[in-house]
A and B are shown apart, each in its own frame.
Chain A
């Protein structure tokens, strides 16, 4: 193009056609092409001072060294128009006459945005100046767009940071799965701090065992060693700043923040090696410390919530179990005691809150005799209630046809319990059969509290004649018989009566029970039963009832 004015116009048109938002390499290549048109030149380089290796060139192939040297001249603003040294011009264009090459900075307000290197000065310096000014404005608009984009990215990053903290807060309120929450906290903190790796260690409330240990990348610390860390933030941008076992952590720079609940150390969040876009590792800053501490606080809250939830679930489970046990027990205890020949019977059961396993019953037999029993099973809650249920079923099945041979009956109950109940589950049992014809009580006491025989002569204890049923196979139980008269009383009870504790940790005891029994020996059995329960109640005022309490009283009213 021989006409300099036409060349200048063509160059402006080419610059106007460039998309300022195309990538940087294409941008520089387009600008260089326009500038070469305006300069009537074939060969040249447009040096990008930001990314020298991505500079545009035409007709020459500049080496990395040359591009970096040229980029350095842009940085030294003010000297860019000096003639290029031969060290640079010769490798680019070959030997030329001194001053033949041209280095023209593209500037906006003395700020050099690029350096144009031409094989020769432009033919129309005035027109060319307008083109370089146009190119510089284009580069400036791109620079401004970059700044806006960067600011926009920074703003979005802050939104992301706040959103992450908000999300963790919401998760804490919405989930009780501590493990997934803890992983979320670890990943979000690594992510937002641009860290390469991270470790989260959380201990139980007593801080004596790690309950959660998770790493991204190589572990920075093990769960056991974490307890030796101080309860302060450790920002270690140099090895000298590291303490204890963090000295050996496989990372260049570390930030460790404690997880504290009510001032107690519960764990640590460690992030390592904050990345930079150029691949280097940046120092952790105070702002990073604040972000990491916020996440550590969230972990502490999540941990506390999880603990409270676990406790609530356990309490609820226990309460449900107690309700179930109570309902089982309620269905098997007699609602009312039957009228039986020759006896006045009365009794009752007061279940403890933590349902134990007392059972009592009265069985009228077909031949006019009456069987009575009181049993107390080991343990509490549903297992105890189920065992009571088993004892109840056994006795209901066996008593009607086997009451004449109590040792054999008890042996069969024992066999059944040994076979079908879990280990360490057994029941004490007092079973007695009243024969109005003979005026006798025949009984077997299998490991139960001694029965009380109240007669004008005083109180006679009816002691145990064998071990509780269900405890071991093949055991036998001794049967005993007492001859009774009208007015005599048999009093059976469970250890919930005699072992009831008062505020001073004293037991109600046998002495109080026998004294009460003797005083009420002539009262109706129902009245005596109420007196016993009333006395135990008064004795234990203010103390929670720990065990089931049962009383069964049989007064002989007639014998043959």
Chain B
């Protein structure tokens, strides 16, 4: 894993986007995610899944950026889900309050179903 984050965006359908991260979610990594997320929001996509399978480390600045993204999404009636978190990152998100307004899933499929409103 590199400290430089890469984001790959996948659009399984018109209303949902999956952002797959690879690397460290710090200030620059967080900004990279925010850039993609805000571009998607601008084009009307407000249901996002962050797949962190290839991310093993996140710092508090990265978390504050994720919170900003979450607030913007909620403002616009959107949803944010995370999947495939390491146990350490999942615990961190729980402690830092991210899990209060975003949902955490073990795998992409149930996360996408929740984002599409197919499950609660």
Interface residues of A (CB under 8 A from B): 22-23, 26, 152-153, 156-157, 159-160, 163-164, 167, 184, 187-188, 190-192, 194-197, 216-217, 275-277, 279
Contacts and interface: CB of A to CB of B under 8 A. Distances in A.
A190 B56 CA distance: 12
28 contacts: A22-B75, A23-B75, A26-B75, A153-B60, A153-B64, A156-B95, A159-B95, A160-B60, A160-B92, A163-B91, A164-B88, A187-B57, A190-B57, A191-B57, A191-B58, A191-B92, A192-B59, A194-B59, A194-B60, A196-B26, A197-B3, A216-B1, A217-B2, A217-B24, A275-B61, A276-B61, A277-B61, A279-B27
Given A187-B88, A191-B58, A275 B26 contact: yes
Contact of B60 (A157, A163, A184, A216): A157
A191 B96 contact: no
Contacts of B96: 153, 156-157, 160
A216 B27 contact: no
Contact of A277 (B1, B3, B27, B72): B27
Contacts of B57: 187, 190-191, 216
Contacts of A196: 3, 24, 26
Contacts of B56: 187
B31 to A, nearest CB: 8
Given A153-B64, A279-B27, A184 B97 contact: no
A277 B56 CA distance: 20
- Among B2, B4, B26, B72, max chain A CB count under 10 A is at B26
Nearest to A215: B3
A192 B95 CA distance: 13
A167 to B, nearest CB: 7
A216 B64 contact: no
B53 interface: no
Given A167-B91, A277-B27, A23 B97 contact: no
A152 B97 contact: yes
A153 B92 CA distance: 12
A152 B100 CA distance: 14
Interface string B1-31: 1111000000000000000000010111000
Contact of A194 (B61, B72, B97): B61
Question: Which of A26, A192, A194, A276 has the most CB atoms of chain B within a 10 A radius of its CB?
Answer: A194
A23 B71 contact: yes
A192 to B, nearest CB: 7
A362 B44 CA distance: 95
Contacts of B2: 217
Interface residues of B, number: 24
Interface in B70-100: 71-72, 75, 88, 91-92, 95-97
A276 B64 CA distance: 11
Contacts of A153: 60, 64, 96
A184 B88 contact: yes
Nearest to A186: B57
- Listed from nearest, the 3 A-B pairs whose CB atoms lie closest are A217-B3, A275-B27, A187-B57
Given A187-B56, A279-B28, 20 more contacts: A23-B72, A23-B75, A153-B60, A153-B96, A156-B95, A156-B97, A160-B95, A163-B95, A167-B91, A184-B88, A188-B88, A190-B57, A194-B59, A194-B61, A197-B3, A216-B1, A217-B3, A217-B24, A275-B59, A277-B64
Contacts of A216: 1, 3, 24, 57
Contacts of A279: 27-28
A528 to B, nearest CB: 71
A277 B60 CA distance: 9
Nearest to A162: B95
Given A23-B72, A167-B88, A191 B59 contact: yes
A268 B1 CA distance: 21
Contacts of A275: 26-27, 59, 61
A152 B63 CA distance: 13
Nearest to B87: A167
Contacts of B88: 164, 167, 184, 187-188
A302 to B, nearest CB: 16
A459 B116 CA distance: 100
Contacts of B75: 22-23, 26
A16 to B, nearest CB: 19
Nearest to B72: A23
A85 to B, nearest CB: 35
Given A156-B97, A191-B59, A217-B3, A276 B71 contact: no
A36 B71 CA distance: 28
A306 B7 CA distance: 37
B40 to A, nearest CB: 16
Contacts of A187: 56-57, 88
Contacts of B64: 153, 277
A295 to B, nearest CB: 14
Nearest to B68: A23
A26 B4 CA distance: 32
A216 B58 CA distance: 12
Nearest to B89: A191
A220 B41 CA distance: 39
Contacts of B97: 152, 156
A82 B31 CA distance: 39
Nearest to B76: A23
B88 to A, nearest CB: 7
A26 B57 CA distance: 33
Nearest to A26: B75
A463 B92 CA distance: 78
A22 B75 CA distance: 6
Nearest to A217: B3
A184 B86 CA distance: 11
B93 to A, nearest CB: 10
